[in-house]
Chains A and B, each alone.
Chain A
Amino acid sequence: MLPPMWPKKASLAIVTFGVLVLLLEVAKFARPFTAGEALDFRPRNTPAIEPFAPIPAFKAPAAASRRPILEPNLIDPHDALRAFYLALWRTEVGAPGAVTRVLHYGDSPVTADSITADVRSLLQQHFGDAGHGFVLIAKPWAWYGHRGVEVQGKGWHIAAATQTRARDGFHGLGGVSFEGDTGASSRLVLAEDHAQIEIQYLRQPGGGVLTVEAAGQTLGDVETEGPAKEPGFQTFPLPAGARTIQLSVERGPVRLFGVSFERNTPGVIYNSLGLNGGQVQVVVRYFDKPQWTEELRHQHPDLVVINYGTNESIYADYIERYYPGELRQVIERVKAAVPGASILIMSPMDRGQRDSNSHITTVPALPRLVEIQRQTAAEMNCAFFNTFQAMGGEGTMARWYDSQPRLVSADFTHPLPAGARKVGVLLDQALESGYRQFKAREQQRIAQRETHQ
């Protein structure tokens, strides 16, 4: 007997709804899921992210067994990083002019100086700050940035190797060419004093004149006229306190590739060379080989980091068929250009996507791409940093997306500043740990030799 105020219809509807949900469970409607699942729309758990959770190490090649590897994600059995470590050592002891130069090529996260800014900052804290290094003179993408330098440019025709490419393939060190007629200009504002600025441009027949000013004072002109197309470099000392640099095309056309800021102190220069949409394919196909070679040589790098893979990771077929060959070509080009430099292949970060169950999972081909990078690095005597494993392996972006605060953007690809810093710290720790081990080994070897003598 129901009470007199009993809402009959609403109760029947609720009970029927409950029965229907139970039936869905019993019948395994279309695919198995429970009644609880059907109604459970709770927010995902937000597990705390362990900054350095135990990471399964890759099995290192046999040659590595002669010495312990304390940093499991930095694989360097052939001492490929020796040149870099030696440079770092010289820098650490403060030898005059001992600048360690790193070129870090990468894709969109690097374009915004994410990760690279953090590695730069950490290395410079520990080994000295030798300057910002390479900076583009305008923003090919709104996303472009370099921490500590404000960049504004106007009137430039911008040709990035990943977009509206320069027909001649001359994209400079950073992969972007800026062509300006009379009136084109750029303004760069530094957060701290630097000793000099280097203008990187194209010498060419009919080339115009660029005026360089600092804090309102003219530093000089860059004559870009030359008998043939070739990279040109001109350095101007910066007056003390001059932090606003103005580049103006006095007479066009002038073609620039970027500028580089340096101090006159021992330290690290960590050049951030990101390309939006960057891939090894772009370097192989759209970087003019002789010009890029000359640009690389001019830099005298101690370490070249090749950090592509995010954009390739969604093309499983391409990864199997073409990627290994193109990665090899890039490495060969760098080796040919700067044979004395160390090369580090840095794997992409994890990249997530929503699967059919709406869960965030790692892009399926990404682990395979990372494995190809590891193998290629080992075969070509390069060091390899497994960013993917270091940050937690498969499913990291799902955890990063759910963490508080969030570490990755809602595209499950681009790290937010805290996520980028995490990766920057991981890379810095790996490099510095490798360096400490190298130094200890070398000191031990020197001591042994002295004992024998």
Chain B
Amino acid sequence: MLLTTAAYFSFLAAVFFAYWLAARYRLGALAVVLFANYFFYARWDLAYLAIIPAASTCDFFIGQALHRSTHPGLRRLIVTLSIALNIGLIASVKYLPVLPWVLPLALSFYGFQSLTYTIDIYRRDAQPAESYLAYLASASFFPTTVAGPITRLSTLWPQWSKREMLSAENGGKALFLIGLGLVKKLLIADFLAESLVNRVFDLPKLYSGAEVLAGAYGYALQLYYDFSGYTDIALGSALLLGITLPPNFNRPYAAQNISDFWRRWHISFSNWLRDYLYFSLPGLRSRWKVFAYLNLVITMMLGGLWHGAGWTFLVWGAWHGVGLAVHRWWQTLRGKRTPAPALAARFARAFLTFHFVLIGWIFFRASSLDTARDILYQITSGTISFVNITPAFVLVAVFAAAAHYIPKRWYDGGLRLYCQSPYYAQAAAIAAVVVAIRYAGGASAAPFIYSRF
């Protein structure tokens, strides 16, 4: 049940009405969410009905044990058990030869979220969940299941207990995010992919250097709009139930350097890598600074490998790891921050950072290192022809790029206007989006890129 399907929206509407009917009673609301979560998993495969409750129950009791235990060795052993359980779950579903075919939904995001629970308790950064039901509902919360955002579980269950009304503003914001997510995914990302990106990345040698470069730019936009479109729908779905999830994107291609990029791109994942992997690696407090740089590279390479067991992802991770390490080293050399740079300098920095990221995306998207090499070769070949670039592609790409850089206050203004509109205007706007997608977009959508991770 992908987040762009009729089935999903029918399901979401049913959950919405059931949840708010039961909202007076905390237990009732949690039962609705838990039932919805497991129904959502079961729609992918019934096997999840055994895997998820079992894994969640283990983590719940591990959390309790960690909280009660004071013996450092025992606590380390217990948390290791949780890490082994969740990493084992992620690895087996992703990398074992048979399971990825049997179980269509990777459990990465479930595993990452569960680890935030046990590791936070181990570090005494969080208290264990008081209610078993609240833990189960939080760990398997359906909007975050497919592709995040990776949410610290300790931030979720307090929200079940708040028992606050869904304000008109938040309700409007939720619908706005869902509509925006559909536009991003179906009118922009999928269109760019179908128009040029997929062709160029399939057989780059068939296209001129200019076309391949346009395809690479197109992919950068496609990936952003695909993933942020999914995130918007997930955030909107959660918000309909009064739950606020963490943001995942903040105009990443406006980043001023590679560290800034990772503060803006897939924020929940980069935070997770920082908090639960980078800080856990040995040597960080060593006087030898080289360990800090090395750990950055290792962290990003592992982050790359999480996307898939292939050389292209490893190179992508290493590319970013080295970029982050060099930037960190440069910051150390440069010392304190200089005054805010001029507009031209800001533009130049954003331009360079974007192109650094773009090179990484080529490896991220390419099916093999040979294909990535062919793409880079074609781009540098200097051959110029635009026969495969349609005006519609240019129009959508330019619109997408411009929309990415619009000032935040414009976005906020649009959101405010929508939220203040009467309910029938809100409904009509979403219906208009659906009609627009039906006519301008494809008859069917590609799966979300990150749903396969």
Residues of A within 8 A of B (CB): 3-21, 24, 29-30, 33, 35-44, 108, 112, 141-143, 354, 357-359, 406, 409-411, 414, 416
Contacts and interface: CB of A to CB of B under 8 A. Distances in A.
A353 B21 CA distance: 49
Interface string B14-35: 0011001101100000000000
Given A16-B428, A18-B13, A414-B203, 4 more contacts: A13-B175, A354-B442, A409-B199, A409-B206
Nearest to B13: A14
A14 B205 contact: no
A30 B435 CA distance: 10
Given A16-B427, A143-B205, A410-B198, A10 B166 contact: yes
A414 B20 contact: no
Contact of A359 (B164, B443, B445): B443
A411 B193 CA distance: 11
* Chain B contact surface mostly: helix
Interface stretch (B4-12, B251-259, B309-317): B4-12
A453 to B, nearest CB: 59
| A4, A13, A416, most chain B CB atoms within 10 A | A13
A15 B175 CA distance: 12
Contacts of B5: 39-42
B280 interface: no
A357 B443 contact: yes
Interface in B59-97: none
| A3, A41, A42, A354, most chain B CB atoms within 10 A | A41
B44 interface: no
Given A5-B23, A143-B203, A410-B194, A17 B427 contact: yes
A11 B427 contact: no
Contact of A13 (B20, B427, B446): B427
Contacts of A15: 427
Contacts of B46: none
A5 B20 contact: yes
Contacts of B203: 143, 409, 411, 414, 416
Interface string B185-208: 010000001100111001111100
A151 to B, nearest CB: 13
B445 A43 contact: yes
A108 B145 CA distance: 43
* Chain A contact surface mostly: loop
A409 B201 CA distance: 9
Nearest to A416: B202
Interface string B412-426: 000000000001101
A44 B165 CA distance: 39
B400 interface: no
9 contacts: A11-B17, A13-B423, A14-B175, A16-B428, A38-B434, A39-B434, A41-B444, A354-B442, A414-B202
A142 B20 contact: no
Contacts of A39: 5-6, 9, 434
A30 B438 CA distance: 11
User: What 6 A-B pairs have minimum CB-CB distances, sorted nearest first?
Assistant: A10-B171, A410-B198, A16-B427, A39-B6, A7-B166, A41-B445
A406 B163 CA distance: 49
A409 B374 CA distance: 16
A164 B415 CA distance: 55
B168 interface: yes
Nearest to A17: B427
A9 B4 CA distance: 23
A42 B378 contact: no
Contacts of A12: 423-424, 427
B172 A9 contact: yes
Contact of B186 (A8, A18, A30, A41): A41
A30 B16 CA distance: 31
Contacts, number: 151
Contact of B444 (A6, A14, A44): A44
Contacts of A35: 6
A16 B423 contact: yes
B392 to A, nearest CB: 12
Contacts of A6: 20-21
B175 A40 contact: no
B185 to A, nearest CB: 8
Interface string B244-276: 000000000000000000000000000000000
Contacts of B446: 43
Given A410-B194, A416-B202, A13 B377 contact: no
Given A20-B427, A41-B5, A410-B199, A7 B165 contact: yes
B2 interface: yes
B235 interface: no
B444 A358 contact: yes
Contact of A9 (B199, B423, B428): B423
A40 B1 CA distance: 11
Nearest to A23: B431
Nearest to B202: A409
A19 B172 CA distance: 18
A143 B6 contact: no
Contact of A41 (B4, B171, B204, B240): B4
B381 interface: yes
Given A7-B166, A11-B17, A42 B206 contact: no
Interface string B350-377: 0000000000000000000000001001
A6 B164 CA distance: 10
A143 B199 CA distance: 14
Contacts of A36: 6
Given A14-B13, A143-B203, A410-B202, A20 B423 contact: no
A273 B244 CA distance: 62
Given A3-B21, A6-B20, A38 B377 contact: no
A411 B435 contact: no
B55 interface: no
Nearest to B23: A5
Contacts of A5: 20, 23-24, 163-166
B444 A42 contact: yes
Contacts of A43: 2, 444-447
A7 B23 CA distance: 10
Contacts of B438: 33, 37-38
Contacts of B381: 142
B430 interface: yes
Interface string B373-389: 01001100101000000
A276 to B, nearest CB: 8
A7 B199 contact: no
Contacts of B374: 142
Nearest to B432: A20
Nearest to B168: A9
A42 B185 CA distance: 12
A13 B431 CA distance: 11
A358 B443 contact: yes
Contacts of B206: 108, 142-143, 409, 411, 414
Nearest to B431: A20
Contact of B431 (A17, A37, A358, A416): A17
A112 B175 contact: no
B174 interface: yes
A37 B171 CA distance: 26
Nearest to A19: B427
A17 B428 CA distance: 7
Given A39-B434, A41-B444, A414-B206, A142 B199 contact: no
Contacts of B175: 10, 13-14
